Structure 1
Amino acid sequence: MRIDQNRIERVLVIGLSCLGDMVMASAALWNLRLFLPKAEFTLWVGPRAIAALSEDPMWDKIRVYDRGGEFSGFKGRLRAIKLMRQGKYDLIVDLRATVMPLFSGARYAPLWGLREVFLPKTLHEAERTLQALASLGIPIRIRQLRFFVPFETKEMVKTKYKDELKDRKLVIFNPGANWPPKRWPVEGFVSLGRRLISEFGAVIGVIGYSEEERALGMEVLKGLQEIDALDLTGKVPLTELGALLGMASLFVTNDTGTLHIGSAVGVPVVGLYGPSSPERYGPWGTRHRVVAPSLPCAPCVGKECVYGDFACMSKIGVDEVFSACAELLA
């Protein structure tokens, strides 16, 4: 299938449920927008992912697409198809690779999943969506993730943290992750933070969003016991985090959605990986480092661990992570 851009006025993109997945798809969506600059774009996005797009002026309309709520089950799918038909879209791109667009009446409704089936399983998610897009005849002009931060937010963040930073290196930690086996132990973050403060004079900022992640962040802050630490747990909206990461010298994080925001805004990232694949889900770009245990079973993302303890993250040493940080901070 090749898309004739002259025949497209209305576009619907059905996005993904998770924040990180949506950010990884942003490079492809950016190229799609460049290919269709005059079209009206509507995006349906999962409630956890909408923050990746909500303030971006590149999109005309955005609505929450909650597959666990209004659009759950068979009736929910029928409701979605009805809305697609009412929208009279010329092109529907469903990043979730369902067959619903086939029943939408859209002029173009490519089966996204079939375009990915022949790609290597280890190919990065951002690259997979770009190649799927290119298969529709759409030129790839930009190979960069996108997370829009308003200028006013950037200026506000600079002013807000000016006194705390005082021209010192800001290193942000994210000790959380939705899935506990993806989390590097709190003790590792504490030891790493102390070394970065001692050897680089860094200021350590600690983030966390869910209640559980905020608790992990507070454990790290308690362990640091340093005045050179910023408690950002539960206090920084995602667009503000994007601005803060844009100011930072380094971001050290488990495999979670905010890692990809870091990649998008250009901060050097040290990604900590155990059960998930850094090749497919790691930080995208060249100014990043991945630290992962040398285990024959990793990555797995399985429901059960062959060793019975999901301890792969605890096998990542502080010295390894510090070396990666030092390389990027040098």
Structure 2
Amino acid sequence: MRILVIAPSWIGDLVMSQCLYMELKKIHPEAEIDVMAPKWCLDVLRRMPEVTDAILMPLGHGVFNLRERYRLGKELRTKHYDMAYILPNSFKSALIPFFAGIKYRRGWLGESRYFILSDYRKNKKDFPKLIARYTSLAHTNNEVKNEQDLKEIPTPKLKTIKPDAETAYSKFSINVNSPVLGICPGAEFGPTKKWPPEYYASIAEKYLSSDSHREVWIFGSNKDIKTAEELKENIPDNLHDRVHILAGLTTIEEAIDLLALCQFVICNDSGLMHVSAAVGVRVIAIFGSTSTLYTPPTTSNALLIESDEPCHPCFKKQCRYGTTACLKNLRSEMVWEKICNKWEDIK
């Protein structure tokens, strides 16, 4: 069986989509699963053993371009796919499998794409978690009617490669054999997901102060460099030599491998939160405007810190009150106490 998947464009959603590929492999062990995704997602897909081929989606997020979608679909006809799974909810995301002549095209209903899907689900309320929605697509509507019908939701697991110690030191000035706290202070979604940098700095200071061998690595993209620098500035100067800004310096594959070496990772509800969970480290996840009921990290070894503000969750990119109280009222002292109560070896 040959399967095509149109993947989501966000790194976090992409990591969670691995549960679908894992479920499909359980049902069809010999299946070849090709996944079409944007350029920034391809290296993550290459760390998923279930994926046969990662195919570039050349169109940017939000770009319609009907002619190019028709060309891509026509190009894929030669691969003779038996089934297509369309994970984004948009109308345009379903066009390429349609133009590719794939007879069975399954996905969640969205943007009135009734005729363009041959098989669809529309009962999202019965599948609160996104990973359950993805996993359910491996089954027919009659087989799985709600989240409880899923016997098990697979846990995403990315392949990792331990970095060479000498290379890591020469490239990033880090010691891969040190106990490390990873910090991921960014969030592509927007400011309502970003815990204040000074709060992260307080956690980092406490972590570093209790053991002179410890290091802090700050991860992120080019967009997170300013936040990372602000975070470091809020840490006492005498600890700066053990705080390393990796934001904007690593590839996504390097970030995957380095996150896997961390003792703990503290992060916002973000793509790197899901990457951290998928490499098996202990995760402390901060949820401000979003909810742990929808996109929690896919690991049992996590501490979820969630706002209890009356307006939570709003799922908005900008705070309607201009306060982001959902994040600011999650004080660093409270978070540190919760971390220490869960994992004594962090003290």
Give your verdict on TM over 0.5: yes
- From 80, 86, 105, give the equivalent of 2:101: 105
Alpha-carbon distance change, 122 to 309 in structure 1, aligned in 2, over 3 angstroms: farther
- From 157, 161, 165, give the equivalent of 1:146: 157
Please list the CA deviations of residues 238-267 of structure 1 after superposition, one character each: whole Å capped at 9, or x if unmatched. 222222222211000111111101110111
Residue 205 of structure 1, CA deviation: 1.2
Alpha-carbon distance change, 254 to 54 in structure 1, aligned in 2, over 3 angstroms: same
Tell me if 1:172 matches 2:182.
yes
Q: Tell me how far apart the structure 2 counterparts of residues 157 and 235 of structure 1 sit (CA, whole Å).
A: 17
- 1:14 alignment partner AA: I
Alpha-carbon distance change, 121 to 189 in structure 1, aligned in 2, over 3 angstroms: farther
- From 315, 321, 325, give the equivalent of 2:339: 325
Deviates more, 1:70-79 or 1:201-210: 70-79
- 1:329 alignment partner AA: W
Q: Tell me how far apart the structure 2 counterparts of residues 140 and 106 of structure 1 sit (CA, whole Å).
A: 29
Query: Could you say what secondary structure the match of 2:164 adopts?
Result: helix
- 1:207 alignment partner AA: F
1:13-162 equivalences in 2 (<5 Å) = 13-68=5-60, 72-97=64-89, 98=91, 99-100=94-95, 101-102=97-98, 104-113=100-109, 115-120=120-125, 123-135=128-140, 143-149=154-160, 153-156=161-164, 160=168
Residue 328 of structure 1, CA deviation: 4.3
Contact 1:175–1:208 (8 Å) recurs in 2: yes
Q: Tell me how far apart the structure 2 counterparts of residues 147 and 297 of structure 1 sit (CA, whole Å).
A: 35
Residue 164 of structure 1, CA deviation: 5.1
Please list the CA deviations of residues 248-297 of structure 1 after superposition, one character each: whole Å capped at 9, or x if unmatched. 11000111111101110111111111112222112122110111221111
1:265-276 equivalences in 2 (<5 Å) = 265-276=279-290
Which residue in the other structure is 2:218 paired with? 206
Please list the CA deviations of residues 61-102 of structure 1 after superposition, one character each: whole Å capped at 9, or x if unmatched. 222214427963332333343234343211111112444345
- 2:132 alignment partner AA: E
Contact 2:165–2:176 (8 Å) recurs in 1: no
User: How high is the TM-score relative to the length of structure 1?
Assistant: 0.84
Contact 2:183–2:266 (8 Å) recurs in 1: yes
Alpha-carbon distance change, 166 to 175 in structure 1, aligned in 2, over 3 angstroms: closer
Contact 1:70–1:76 (8 Å) recurs in 2: no
Which residue in the other structure is 2:112 paired with? none
Query: Could you say what secondary structure the match of 1:21 adopts?
Result: helix
Please list the CA deviations of residues 192-239 of structure 1 after superposition, one character each: whole Å capped at 9, or x if unmatched. 1111222465421111212x3012112222322313222322222222
Alpha-carbon distance change, 77 to 215 in structure 1, aligned in 2, over 3 angstroms: same
Contact 2:127–2:133 (8 Å) recurs in 1: no
Contact 2:217–2:245 (8 Å) recurs in 1: yes
Query: Could you say what secondary structure the match of 1:205 adopts?
Result: strand
Deviates more, 1:305-314 or 1:239-248: 305-314
Query: Could you say what secondary structure the match of 2:155 adopts?
Result: coil
- 2:205 alignment partner AA: R
Q: Tell me how far apart the structure 2 counterparts of residues 40 and 71 of structure 1 sit (CA, whole Å).
A: 28
Query: Could you say what secondary structure the match of 1:260 adopts?
Result: helix
Deviates more, 1:43-52 or 1:193-202: 193-202
Which residue in the other structure is 1:241 paired with? 255
Contact 1:208–1:216 (8 Å) recurs in 2: no
Residue 116 of structure 1, CA deviation: 4.6
Contact 1:192–1:318 (8 Å) recurs in 2: yes
Which residue in the other structure is 1:314 paired with? 328
- From 220, 229, 233, give the equivalent of 1:222: 233
Deviates more, 1:46-55 or 1:132-141: 132-141
- 2:136 alignment partner AA: Q
Alpha-carbon distance change, 243 to 221 in structure 1, aligned in 2, over 3 angstroms: same
Residue 326 of structure 1, CA deviation: 1.7
List gaps (5 residues or longer) in structure 2.
110-118, 145-149
Identity percentage of aligned residues: 23
Query: Could you say what secondary structure the match of 1:109 adopts?
Result: strand
List gaps (5 residues or longer) in structure 1.
1-7
Contact 1:12–1:41 (8 Å) recurs in 2: yes
Q: Tell me how far apart the structure 1 counterparts of residues 50 and 315 of structure 2 sit (CA, whole Å).
A: 34
